[in-house]
Structures are given as C-alpha cells and as structure tokens.
Amino acid sequence: MTAPFSEFGMLGGRGVLVAGFFIGIAFGACLERAGLGSARKLMGQFNLRDLAVFKVMFSAIVTAMIGLFWLSRIGVLDLSRVYLPETFIIPQLVGGAIFGVGFALAGLCPGTSCVAAASGRGDGLAAMIGMFAGVLATGAALPTFQRFFTSTARGGFTISSALAVSDGVVVLGIVAVAIAGFAVAPRIERYAARARE
C-alpha cells in the first residue's frame, strides 16, 4: 500500500497542508468554471431549470467513489486508513435540514459561497459571514446541546454495512443511479423550461 500518502508519512505534516491548500484552490476553480459561484445558477437547481449542481457534484462523487474502490482493489490505497466520519442520525438529519434551508435562502452552499466571495460577489461574502457566525454560535452553544449532538451514534456507518452488501454492489448501484440521473436531467430541465413559458 502506498496511499493515503498522509497516513503513510509520504507528505509530512506540512506537505499535507500544502497539498490540501492547492487541491482546495483547484476545486474552487472547477466550481467557478462550472458556474457554481453564481447564486442564480444554483437556484436553478431548486426550480429544476438548471441541474448543473446535480451533474457536477454527482460526477465528482462517482469519480471519487470509483477511484477509491479500484485503487483499494489493486492494492494502492488502504481504505481502512481513510477517515470515515462518525454517524449521528438525528443530529445530522437536523443539521441537513438547517443546511438545506440556508442553501435555499442564500442560494449558495459553503463551498460555492467561498467561490462566489473569491470572485468578488457580495452575496458570497454575506453567505460566508453568516456561515462563520453560525459556526461560532454553534461552538458557543455546544455545551448546552452536547447531549443532543452525540445522540443516536452509529459509528462509521456506510451504505454497504447498512444494507449488508459488498462495497462493489453499492458502487454499481450508485453508478447506475448516476447514469439514470444524467439521462433524465435534461428532460426535467426542458419540461421545467416549457412549464415557465
């Protein structure tokens, strides 16, 4: 096994930070090139007129998933060393709902708000300020809600463990869903466009 490089000490502590910095810039540049630094474009996701967010993000997820799967199968990547966040079902459902409402109100998610702000857009800067204010407020209130935040813990919970199937079956299923989604998305966009005429 040679990867993940950070876990096997090939990059060192400083190298990990430098790599993360440049990967973040590259990802932000890709988002901007895809038009996802624009709140108007992102709001097209909610009214089904422009499903670019779905296409770009699902493409990224599927690419990363297939890459991780096959790199681990050929012995390059040790998946047991890749960080898997713990699952807390109820707190994460509540957090997801809050995130969704914030996304719909601001027209930007955390990543795209950073891209928008870096591109000089005021709405991106406002969303970032709101995001950091929310983080600080949550941190300050953490002792009060500590019990809730740690409730319904499930550890490193994955789709394959939840369904008791192999990782390969999950990869195949998600790829099939992605292909179907990519095929249907243009039709949904055309239908939404006609409905608004």
Please name the residue that has the structure tokens 């600080």.
Answer: 136
- Calculate the average pLDDT of the chain: 90
pLDDT value at position 41? 87
pLDDT for 124-163, tens place per residue?
999 999 999 999 998 999 899 899 999 999 888 899 988 9
pLDDT for residue 68:
93
Cα(81)–Cα(63) distance, integer angstroms = 19
**Pair (54, 103) in one structural domain:** no
| Residue 52 and residue 37 in one domain | yes
75, 168: one domain: yes
d(CA 70, CA 7) in angstroms, rounded, equals 19
pLDDT of 1 higher than 70: no
Do residues 62 and 134 both lie within one domain? Answer: no
pLDDT digits (tens, 9 = 90+) for 26-47: 989 988 888 888 888 888 888 8
Q: Does 114 lie in the same domain as 71?
A: no
pLDDT attached to residue 136: 94
Query: What number is the average pLDDT over the span 54-63?
Result: 91
Residues 68 and 117 both lie in one domain: no
Q: Tell me the mean pLDDT in the region 164-189.
A: 94
Let me know whether 77 and 173 are in one domain: yes
4 preceded by a cis bond (ω within 30 of 0): yes
Contacts of range 52-59, beta carbons closer than 8 Å, 24 or more positions apart: 54/181, 54/185, 55/182, 55/185, 56/30, 56/31, 58/178, 58/181, 58/182, 59/178
- Closest among 173, 191, 174 to 51, alpha carbons compared: 191
Tokens 């890709």 belong to residue: 30
Q: Are residues 66 and 108 in the same domain?
A: no
CB distance 124 to 36 below 8 Å: no
- Asked if residue 175 and residue 148 are part of one domain, the reply reads no
Q: How many CA atoms lie within 13 A of 36 on its CB side?
A: 21
pLDDT of 133: 93
- The pLDDT value given to residue 192: 85
**Does one domain contain both 141 and 130?**
yes
**Whether residues 7 and 65 fall in one domain:** yes
Domain check: are 89 and 77 in the same one? no
Q: How many domains does the chain have?
A: 2
pTM of the model: 0.78
Give the C-alpha distances (Å, rounded to integers) separating 58 from 53, 106, 109.
Answer: 8, 21, 15
Domain housing 125: 85-157
Mean pLDDT of 77-105: 91
Task: Report the alpha-carbon distance of residue 192 to residue 196 in Å, rounded.
Answer: 6
